[in-house]
Amino acid sequence: MTQTPTSSNAHPDQHTIISLRDVRKTFTNAAGDDVTVLDSVSFDVIRGETLVIMGGSGCGKSTLLNCLIGEYELDGGEILFHTKDLSSPKNMATMSPDEKNALRKRFGILFQSGALFNSLTVSENVALPLSEHSNVKPEVIDMIVALKLQLVRMLPHRDKMPSQLSGGQKKRAGLARATALDPEILFYDEPSAGLDPVTSTAIDELMMDLSKKLSVTSIVVTHEMESAFRIADRMVMLEKGRVLHIGARQEFEKLRDANPASLTRVEDQLMNQFLNGYNEGPLTNAEGLSEFEKLITG
pLDDT digits (tens, 9 = 90+) for 203-220: 999 999 888 888 899 999
Q: How far apart are CA 24 and CA 234, in angstroms?
A: 22
pLDDT digits (tens, 9 = 90+) for 12-55: 555 899 999 999 999 988 888 899 999 999 999 999 999 999 99
Q: Within 13 Å and on the Cβ side, how many CA atoms surround 164?
A: 11
- Residue 4: pLDDT over 50: no
Q: What integer pLDDT is reported at residue 293 of this predicted model?
A: 52
Residue 184 in domain: no
Q: What integer pLDDT is reported at residue 112 of this predicted model?
A: 74
Closest-CA residue to 23 (of 6, 3, 38): 38
- Distances 63 to 39, 77, 122, 135, 186 between C-alpha atoms, Å: 11, 15, 29, 33, 17
The answer on 89 and 42 residing in a single domain is yes
The answer on 288 and 245 residing in a single domain is no
Residue 242 in domain: yes
Number of domains in the chain: 2
The answer on 96 and 56 residing in a single domain is yes
The answer on 244 and 262 residing in a single domain is no
The answer on 36 and 91 residing in a single domain is yes
Residue 135 in domain: no
The answer on 43 and 29 residing in a single domain is yes
Q: What integer pLDDT is reported at residue 9 of this predicted model?
A: 42
- Residue 145: pLDDT over 80: yes
Residue 295 in domain: yes
The answer on 45 and 99 residing in a single domain is yes
Taking the alpha carbons at both ends of the chain, their separation in whole angstroms is 15
Closest-CA residue to 239 (of 200, 178, 281): 281
Question: From the CB of residue 59, how many other CB atoms can be counted at a distance below 10 Å?
Answer: 22
- Residue 243: pLDDT over 80: yes
Q: What integer pLDDT is reported at residue 220 of this predicted model?
A: 96
Residue 249 in domain: yes
Cβ(191)–Cβ(222) under 8 Å? yes
The answer on 89 and 37 residing in a single domain is yes
Q: What is the pLDDT of the chain when averaged over all its residues?
A: 88
Cβ(2)–Cβ(61) under 8 Å? no
| Beta strand ranges found along the chain (DSSP E) | 16-28, 34-46, 50-54, 76-81, 90-91, 107-110, 185-189, 217-221, 234-239, 242-248
Q: In what order do the strands lie in the sheet with 242-248?
A: 107-110, 185-189, 217-221, 50-54, 234-239, 242-248
The answer on 26 and 76 residing in a single domain is yes
> CATH number of the domain that 86 lies in?
3.40.50.300
Q: Between β-strands 217-221 and 185-189, what pairing exists: parallel, antiparallel or unpaired?
A: parallel
Report helix, strand or coil for 210.
helix
Parent domain of 19: 11-104+225-256
**How far is CA 27 from its chain centroid?**
21
Cβ contacts of 55 within 8 Å, gap of 6 or more: 61, 223, 237, 238, 239, 244, 274
**How far is CA 13 from its chain centroid?**
21
- Residue 122: pLDDT over 90: yes
Q: How far apart are CA 145 and CA 125, in angstroms?
A: 9
pLDDT digits (tens, 9 = 90+) for 85-97: 888 899 998 999 9
Q: In what order do the strands lie in the sheet with 16-28?
A: 34-46, 16-28, 76-81, 90-91
Residue 112 in domain: no
